[in-house]
Amino acid sequence: MEKTNQNQQDAEKQAAALAAVKYVKEGDVVGLGTGSTTAFAIKALGKRVQEGLNITAAASSVATEKLAKSLGIEILDLGTLSKIDISIDGADEFTESLDLIKGGGGALFREKIIASLSKNAIVITDASKKVKKLGAFTVPVEVIPLAYQYVFDQINLLGGQGKLRIKENKTFITDNGNVIIDADFGLIDNPAKLSSDLNQINGVLAHGLFINITSKVVMSEGTEIIVFE
Ligand SMILES: O=C[C@H](O)[C@H](O)[C@H](O)COP(=O)(O)O
């Protein structure tokens, strides 16, 4: 990506993050996503905490937990929570019907738990993430390692072309100790059906299709903030 485009995209990510952080209220339990867009939100939230806002938070990744703690945000154990007031997370793609693909950073499982627990699941993006149909971005599928080949073959039977995620010349391992298959299904006509088909494969911990979980998408485009809900 050219530098000016990158700067523009970062400015949009930050603007969406700042707009979303305004929804957080005193006393809230806040779910924190993962990724470059969410990092802007965590920093803005950290600033509000330093100015006196009382909140607690749940983190969707080790990286997010580390960043949040460094800014003075108190982190709760996700496994003990039965509800989250508000969550803020990014996405790799979204449609106006609030269906998403997530997991580009590999945090999809904990992100899905956080979004599912959230009364108000807010997604923040720059304008490049908005699509008419999901699927140009491959669907990340988190797989328990011993089920790798089985799941790979099942994805193939569903019409997908899987690829083991490699990062820095090594197999990418998630915070949960699993691997990721990035599955190319082409443009997806029925994301809800694909989501349910993937859920039924033994060995799949989670996949990156987020259907009917999101409350609103706060998107920044140029100088404008557009909210889809
Ligand atoms: O696993 C990572 C997450 O789902 C991210 O929210 C997603 O990949 C978007 O990341 P970014 O904000 O860096 O584009």
Q: Whose alpha carbon is nearest atom 12 of ligand 1?
A: 37
Residue 121 belongs to what H/E stretch?
strand 118-126
146 CB-side CA count, 13 A: 0
User: What are 146-174's pLDDT values in tens digits?
Assistant: 999 999 999 999 999 999 999 999 999 99
Structure ipTM: 0.98
Spatial contact of 179 and 172, defined as CB atoms under 8 Å apart: yes
Tokens 């699927």 locate to 135
Question: Residue 62: is its pLDDT beyond 80?
Answer: yes
C-alpha 34/C-alpha 17 separation (Å) is 12
C-alpha 210/C-alpha 195 separation (Å) is 8
Helix, coil or strand: residue 65: helix
Tokens 């140029």 locate to 222
C-alpha 143/C-alpha 147 separation (Å) is 7
**Residue 147 DSSP code:** G
| Nearest by Cα to 45 from 60, 13, 67 | 67
For range 33-49, the mean pLDDT: 98
Q: Whose alpha carbon is nearest atom 3 of ligand 1?
A: 103
Q: What is the pLDDT of residue 24?
A: 98
For range 32-44, the mean pLDDT: 98
User: What are 95-150's pLDDT values in tens digits?
Assistant: 999 999 999 999 999 999 999 999 999 999 999 999 999 999 999 999 999 999 99
Confidence of residue 1 (pLDDT cuts 50, 70, 90): low
Q: What is the pLDDT of residue 5?
A: 85
The residue from 12, 65, 111, 142 that is catalytic is 111
List residues forming the annotated binding site for substrate.
34-37, 89-92, 102-105, 129
For range 45-59, the mean pLDDT: 98
Q: Which domains does the chain have, with CATH numbers?
A: 3-130+212-219 (3.40.50.1360), 139-206 (3.30.70.260)
